[in-house]
Chains A and B, each alone.
Chain A
Amino acid sequence: MTLLEARHLYKRFGTIEALDGVSLSLRRHEILAIVGESGSGKSTLLNVLAGREAPDAGEVLYDGAPIAALGELELRRLQRSRWGFIHQDPRQALRLNVSAGGNIGERLMAAGGRNYGGIRRTAAQWLEAVEIDPARLDDYPRNFSGGMMQRLQIAATLVTGPELVFMDEPTGGLDVSVQARILDLIRGLVRQLGLAAVLVTHDIGVARLLADRIVVMRRGQIVETGLTDQVLDDPHHEYTQLLVSSVLPV
């Protein structure tokens, strides 16, 4: 069952082809990693898939229907209920002067939640689910560590039970031990909730840990795609071979 499909996407910034004929599909409950070096167009692809940017040509289909035909209102509704977007920098998504509970509750209230006690209980449960002490429900994210902020962003995104989550380098900028715990957390939640996810990363290790399938991008084009293990253990394209071999041996 195809949940999300991209057909021949093109997007150009000045003279740079950020997307040069990209097609891909994502099934329900599947995690797809988009890997590639900086400037390969992977973040642009993610933004186009998530409806945050319009492609110059081509279309994105969600549940078989083109999202461009939805109109802004429907798209917004989709983005804030059935989809989620996790930014690399949680400060972009969170309100730093609003308590952790308020941040988690925002999507619930936008979806019509009007019971203060209920929103609080749900927020506390989600704090626990992302391994933050529920006693910090009324604390401000600006007093949280980077890792905690990222976990809060994950809770605030998943609270409405989306079926599709876009992740842009969710562990970028965190130190290695914190990264490992967040990856572990994401892996657990994604399986437990049966999410489909598109994950952008330049870290092959992150892709190996989380993704079912991998798409390798270079200069706006997909150069290789396949099951994660297959692509990483037996890369065919020379660029993929380079990416895989450039991972530091531990």
Chain B
Amino acid sequence: MQGYNFAYLDEQTKRMLRRAILKAVCIPGHQIPFASREMPLPYGWGTGGIQVTAAIIGPDDVLKVIDQGADDTTNAVSIRKFFARTAGVETTTRTDEASIIQTRHRIPETPLAEGQIIVYQVPMPEPLYRLESSRATAAKLHATADYGAMHVKLYEEITRFGRVALSYDYPVMVNERYLMSPSPIPAFDNPKLNMSPALQLFGAGREKRLYALPPYTRVRSLDFEDHPFHPGRANAVCELCGADNTYLDEIIADDQGGRIFVCSDTDYCEGRHDPA
């Protein structure tokens, strides 16, 4: 493509991003500030994820982009096309074929492997955001690992609802040191963060922060001894492939109030009912 550098961003910007990524990998779960650039799409559509992907992608990479688990939604299709045009890389919808997976809201059902990189689009990187209005104070709380307030939040959830009713963006402790927002993935996906063989990178474009989990990092969802973490899941099976162990989307099927449940991970679902 004429007039653009490989993968859209100029090389200086990519170097800045790579320095931040290296630092993030060295301090798992710690938020690193970076000079987020204007991207040709609005904040909230994945500017952080795109910048991280642009900084790490090479000509030999194979890219998969998912949005809410699906490969065929507007956002996923657009970002995949964006890199196909600006970097000329091969794209795929198959989890096991991809070397880089950019994602919003899900971790694929197919287990990730060593050598793969998963890039999360993060709207709000600060897990203490709703508890502590000052970012300076929040930074101090991270520095002193003062996370009592987050447990107070969980305590309140159990007191009010009988269980922790957070269904997404469920806070995790990384390496027993940093409290981290896993981005708005469902709590169901939280266990997949733990000891993952893949490198996990998180980019927040509007908030200008990125953070990372190197392969095989311990990630623990916060809980109480007598109220252990429970990954939530609709009590149903997939209408299309019959899976009873995947994260399901509820879909309205007709105008008589009929509803069906289907796998949110479209690639995994297709692989099961239509083996290629």
A residues in contact (CB < 8 Å) with B: 72-73, 76-77, 80, 95, 98-99, 101-103, 105-107, 109-111, 114-119, 138
Q: Are B155 and A119 in contact (CB under 8 A)?
A: yes
Pairwise interchain contact A102-B152, C-beta atoms closer than 8 A: yes
Stretch at the interface among B104-112, B143-151, B261-269: B143-151
Within 8 A of A (CB), among B131-159: 140, 143-144, 146-149, 151-152, 155-156, 158-159
Chain B contacts of A109 at CB under 8 A?
A: 148, 151-152, 155
Name the residue of chain B whose CB is nearest to the CB of A71. Answer: B144
Given A98-B156, A99-B159, A101-B159 in contact, is the A106-B224 Cβ separation under 8 Å?
no
Closest to B227 in A: A116
Q: Which residue of A lies closest to B131 (CB)?
A: A95
A-B contact pairs, 21 of them (CB 8 A): A76-B146, A77-B144, A80-B146, A99-B159, A101-B159, A103-B152, A105-B152, A105-B155, A106-B149, A106-B151, A107-B148, A109-B152, A110-B147, A110-B148, A111-B148, A114-B223, A116-B155, A116-B225, A117-B226, A118-B226, A138-B160
Taking a contact as CB atoms closer than 8 A, the residue among B144, B147, B151 that contacts A72 in the complex is B144
With contacts A73-B143, A76-B144 taken as known, whether A138 is within 8 angstroms of B159 at the C-beta atoms is yes
For the A-B complex with A98-B156, A102-B159 known, give 18 more contacts whose Cβ atoms are closer than 8 Å: A72-B143, A72-B144, A73-B143, A73-B144, A76-B146, A80-B146, A103-B152, A105-B151, A105-B152, A106-B148, A107-B148, A110-B146, A110-B147, A114-B225, A115-B224, A115-B225, A118-B226, A138-B160
When C-beta atoms are compared, the residue in chain B nearest to A97 turns out to be B156
Q: Are B224 and A116 in contact (CB under 8 A)?
A: yes
Which residue of chain A is the closest to B140 with respect to CB atoms?
A72
| Chain B interface residues (CB < 8 Å from chain A) | 140, 143-144, 146-149, 151-152, 155-156, 158-160, 223-227
Q: How many A-B residue pairs have CB under 8 A?
A: 57
CB distance from A126 to the nearest CB of B (A): 15
Q: Tell me how far the C-beta of A67 lies from the nearest C-beta in chain B, rounded to whole angstroms.
A: 15
Q: Is the CB of A115 within 8 A of B226?
A: yes
- Which of A76, A77, A98, A115 is in CB contact (< 8 Å) with B152? A98
CA distance A40 to B179 in the complex (A): 42
A99 touches B226 (CB 8 A): no
Residues of chain B contacted by A77 (CB below 8 angstroms)? 144
Q: Could you tell me the distance in whole angstroms from the C-beta of B268 to the nearest C-beta in chain A? A: 35
CA distance A107 to B143 in the complex (A): 18
Q: Which residues of B contact A105 (CB under 8 A)?
A: 151-152, 155
The 6 nearest A-B residue pairs measured at CB: A110-B148, A109-B151, A116-B224, A76-B144, A109-B148, A115-B225
Q: What separation, in Å, do the CA atoms of A111 and B151 have in the docked complex?
A: 11
Cβ–Cβ contact B158 & A116, under 8 A: yes
Q: What's the nearest-Cβ distance from chain A to residue B150, in Å?
A: 9
A98 CA / B131 CA spacing, docked (Å): 11
- Chain A residues lying within 8 Å of B144, measured Cβ to Cβ, are 72-73, 76-77
Determine the chain B residues whose CB is within 8 A of the CB of A72 once the complex forms.
140, 143-144
